[in-house]
Structure 1
Amino acid sequence: MPRLIEPGTTRLQLRQWRDSDRAPFARMNADPQVMEFFPALLSREESDAGIDRQIAHIEQYGWGFWAVERLDDRQFIGFVGIKHVTADMPFAPAVEIGWRLATDAWGQGFASEAARAALQVGFEQLGLPEIVSFTVPGNFRSRGVMEKLGMQQGENFLHPALPPAHPMQEHVLYRLANPM
């Protein structure tokens, strides 16, 4: 098993998932505000399966979409991290950066702060040549984070996991080259 990487910032810890994260993550994934730009709310089973996939990726590579907690109160607030995209994505192979935070953690700079720590792992520790991110065109909050990180808007694409003509099938791709 590779060495587990768990980056941190002055306010946040990015870490491997715990069983205690399952209930708050399921609540997050059932929140219509959090899931506004996803095709559907997730059931508890779907949410738990998502955690299991993230744990497996982190165990395999030492990094992934980490659980995020605030250092001041150790409260779980969501996830931020980097992971391999699925092979069916039109720009694969690639490593994406992504995030999903509970609404009470919005507007405090946590997504950008944690994402910078994840980018540092990807570029400085892993030596990745590029990291991508993507969302639906109307998700201006996530696009704002991507732009704060210095990512450049690229081409739009149709997400292969969504059926043709689905209102969220079109996605916009952002790219960031390794500055090293």
Structure 2
Amino acid sequence: MPGGLGVDRVATARLVGRRPEEGDARAYVRVFTDPRIDEEAWPADRRTADGARETLAAFIAHWERWGFGPWTVLVGSEPVGWTGLQHTRVDGRPEVELLWFLDGDLWGRGYAPELAREAVRVAFEVLELDDVVAFTTPANTRSQAVMRRLGMAHERDIVHGGLPHVLFRLTRPGAV
């Protein structure tokens, strides 16, 4: 599957998503360690520069293994975060997660749902998945609002990475 899906690069009216590259590390660290992130939404001790570099490496490895993954989001030519799809496990069950994380300077502009909608299109039309999940901490009401804007429904509360999370799901129309 790797490389053959034609999803290495996507675009919307305002944004481009492309496969992540090692050169994105500086932007990932900047976005990942932003002090404006609410401590209740995502504790600062989990948002380190090393964690950002590990996230980027994991995204690159996901692309190499599966032929899809989170894209680095660009505004113009500037990396400003990531959005896309990745394999994950929820309560021991394999799932495909829809995720996004953008520079705090861009919050409130509708960028997260804009490129996340493109990820949903890829999930359902290209990858032919039946559903995708998204999850966040209960305090992250902004991400929950994006999930709802995408048509996702709250399914249940879970624990992920040792923290309480809310799990949302979106099912492809016509999927069983």
* 1:151-162 → structure 2 map (5 Å cutoff): 151-159=152-160, 161-162=161-162
Identical aligned residues as a percent:
35
Taking the TM superposition and a 5 Å limit, the aligned residue runs for 1:45-84 are 45-70=50-75, 73-84=76-87
**Cα distance in 2, alignment partners of residues 92 and 127 from structure 1:** 19
CA distance in 2, matches of 1:7, 1:50: 20
Which amino acid in structure 2 is aligned with residue 178 of structure 1?
R
The residue number in structure 1 matching 2:169 is 175
Q: How many angstroms apart in 2 are the aligned matches of 1:97 and 1:66?
A: 11
Shift of 1:41: 4.5
- Residue 76 of structure 1 and its aligned partner are, at CA, apart by 1.1
Task: Give the whole-Å Cα distance in 2 for the aligned partners of 1:34 and 1:9.
Answer: 26
* SS, match of residue 94 in structure 2: coil
Q: Distance in 2 between matches of 1:122 and 1:91?
A: 21
**2:37 aligned partner:** 34
What per-residue deviation string (whole Å, max 9, x for no partner) do you get for residues 78-133 of structure 1?
000011113xx216211010111001111111000000000000000111001010
Given the alignment of the two structures, is residue 101 of structure 1 paired with residue 75 of structure 2, yes or no?
A: no
Partner of 1:11: 14
Deviates most, 4-13 or 76-85: 4-13
- For residues 35 and 97 of structure 1, the distance between their equivalents in structure 2, rounded to whole angstroms, comes to 21
Number of residue pairs the alignment of both structures matches? 169
Tell me how far 1:137 sits from its aligned partner.
1.1
| RMSD of equivalent CA atoms | 1.6
Between 1:90-99 and 1:107-116, the stretch displaced more is 90-99
SS in 2 for 1:155: strand
The 1-side partners of 2:38 and 2:46 are apart by: 6
Q: Which structure shows the bigger proportion of residues in strand conformation?
A: 2
Q: Distance in 1 between matches of 2:137 and 2:51?
A: 21
| Gaps in structure 2 of 5+ consecutive residues | none
- The separation in 1 between residues aligned to 2:97 and 2:16, in whole angstroms, is 20
Give the letter aligned to residue 139 of structure 1: N
Is the partner of 1:150 in helix, strand or coil?
A: coil
Instruction: Within 5 Å, give how 1:125-140 maps onto structure 2.
Output: 125-140=126-141
Q: Is the 8 A contact 2:124 2:130 kept in 1?
A: yes
| 1:18 Cα offset (Å) | 2.4
